[in-house]
Amino acid sequence: MNKKKIINDPVYGFISIPYDIIYDLLEHPYFQRLRRIKQLGLTHYVYPGALHTRFHHALGAMHLMQKAIQTLQYKGVIITPEEAEAATIAILLHDIGHGPFSHALEHSIVNVHHEDLSILFMEQLNEEFNGALEMAISIFKNEYPKKYLHQLISSQLDMDRMDYLNRDSFFTGVSEGVIGYDRIIKMLNVYNGEIVVEYKGIYSIEKFLIARRIMYWQVYLHKTVVSAEQMLIRFFKRIKYLFEKNSLFEIPDSLLFFLEKPLNVTNFKAHKKTFLDKFAALDDIDITFLLKMSVNHKDFVLSTLAKNLLNRNLFKIDMQNSKFSGDHLDAVRLNIRNQFKEIDDKNLEWLIIEGSESNRAYSNKKDEIKFWMKNNQIKGLVDAFDHVIDSKYLTKYFLCYPKIF
């Protein structure tokens, strides 16, 4: 059977499947499931085109990995066919541990970081594929000697970021997020076992960092998106709460497992195959269906959150650079109480969501981006660049609550 397929991708034109094992991994239900997990959760409520999936992102990152490997080989870096395949597998599966709505519900459903789940999935697949993923796992865990292979998968300049910035800016239509990924990849090289960038690519790197920062504040942490995702988190919390109080409707089987007991890395590791299968059965569909089932539930908090989310009647959100004053909180609380006279104080608190989001464009401490200068010196970005690089954390505080009429 010919497994050398070509897949249309609006972002890159065509993506070729480079190895037979990649084809087989794509066919696996663990991977097909990523078709039902949107890359950007509820972001499509602000950017209606942002419906692309983890499946598509994984293909895209794999495509860029091919390009990066070719570039490095062209420049004389020795990457064996086995290493190339392993690095390709590793990037393909780097996000396979994501659950429904990706980051939004990451710690609501199971108490395991998605990267740990990715490793568990890879290990399970490694068994099913008779050890064929050994080297991929080693690269993914940064245990493989050629550190630059890991850096292509996970670093401030990895193919993951490269693809998601491309893809997210493409599907949102936020042209400010467009990056010169092809130029950046063509500028990569390896020096002392680590990824470096040729000096003449330095403006492309700055552009990349700025574009990423813009994507954070304009898309990923867009206030309306934050509001929707906070509502979803709160909704799921309420589901659990009502479930524990036995006040919920009959829960679909697929979800039952995740409500009945707390799940963490330890019990996941203990029951790998069983738990992974359960987890793999879960995706955006189940959660959205749960929302739909909850619309008419008698619990006011649950049905309010569900209805407002489904019909995109989202909570108002205030966002600012400093913490909210007690006065502001009191004023909001009072307004809401006046509006929802029928609910008690405790439930009222469920409808007010406080929190913060942070991001920085670039970390100059850990894992800095390095440049190959014209005189064959290696310099970190901050030293190499003629202009200032923003490496400060920016934190924004938010407060969500029902619209007051």
Binding site for its own copies (CB under 8 A): 4, 6-11, 13-14, 27, 29, 32, 35-36, 44, 46-49, 51-53, 55-56, 59, 74, 170-176, 178, 180, 182-183, 186, 203-204, 206-207, 210-211, 213-214, 217-218, 252-254, 281, 285-286, 288-289, 292-293, 310-313, 321, 361, 386-388, 390, 392, 394
**Shortest separation between residue 180's beta carbon and its own copies, angstroms:** 5
Q: Which is nearer to its own copies, 138 or 391 (CB)?
A: 391
Residues paired with 370 in a beta bridge: 380
Dump the DSSP string for 150-209: HHHHSSTT-HHHHHHHHHHHHHHT-GGG---HHHHHHHEEEETTEEEEEGGGHHHHHHHH
- Rounded to the nearest whole angstrom, what is the least distance from the CB of residue 161 to its own copies in the complex? 17
* Closest distance of CB 339 from its own copies, Å: 17
Whose structure tokens read 């390009």?
Answer: 67
CB of 372 to its own copies, least distance (A): 13
C-alpha to C-alpha distance for 114 and 95, rounded to whole angstroms: 7
CB 102 within 8 A of CB 37: yes
Q: Are 371 and 188 in contact (CB under 8 A)?
A: no
Cβ-based nearer residue to its own copies, 36 or 379 = 36
∠ CA 351-399-392, nearest 5°, is 145
Tokens of 232: 């979803």
Closest CA to 344 of 299, 384, 388, 387: 299
In the complex with its own copies, the residue whose CB is nearer, 84 or 135, is 84
Q: Are 317 and 400 in contact (CB under 8 A)?
A: yes
Smaller CB separation from its own copies, 115 or 318: 318
Query: At a CB cut-off of 8 Å and minimum separation 6, what does 266 contact?
Result: none
In the chain, the amino acid numbered 369 is I
Return the SS3 of 53: strand
| 216, 290 contact by CB (below 8 A) | no
Nearer to its own copies, 74 or 345 (CB): 74
Nearer to its own copies, 270 or 388 (CB): 388
**Which C-beta is closer to its own copies: that of 45 or that of 340?**
45
Nearest distance from residue 277's CB to its own copies, in Å?
Answer: 12
Shortest Cβ distance from residue 139 to its own copies (Å)?
25
Q: How far is the CB of 311 from its own copies (least distance, A)?
A: 5
Q: DSSP character for 111?
A: B
Q: Please, which residue, 265 or 293, has the CB nearer to its own copies? A: 293
Nearest CB to its own copies, comparing residues 96 and 149: 96
Residue 103: helix, strand or coil by DSSP? Answer: coil
Report in angstroms how near the CB of residue 195 gets to its own copies at its nearest: 19
Only one residue has tokens 């906070």, namely: 230
Nearer to its own copies, 146 or 217 (CB): 217
Q: Give me the least distance between CB of 294 and its own copies, in Å please.
A: 12
Shortest separation between residue 14's beta carbon and its own copies, angstroms: 6
- The conformational region for residue 80 under phi > 0 = left, psi -120 to 50 = alpha, else beta, is beta
Q: Three-class SS of residue 253?
A: helix
Minimum distance, C-beta of residue 289 to its own copies, in the bound complex (Å): 4
Nearest CA-CA partner of 149 in 75, 77, 54, 59: 77
**Amino acid present at 331:** A
- Comparing CB distances to its own copies, the nearer of 146 and 396 is 396
Helix axes 272-280, 253-260, angle to 10 degrees: 130
> Backbone phi, then psi, for 305, in 5-degree steps?
-60, -45
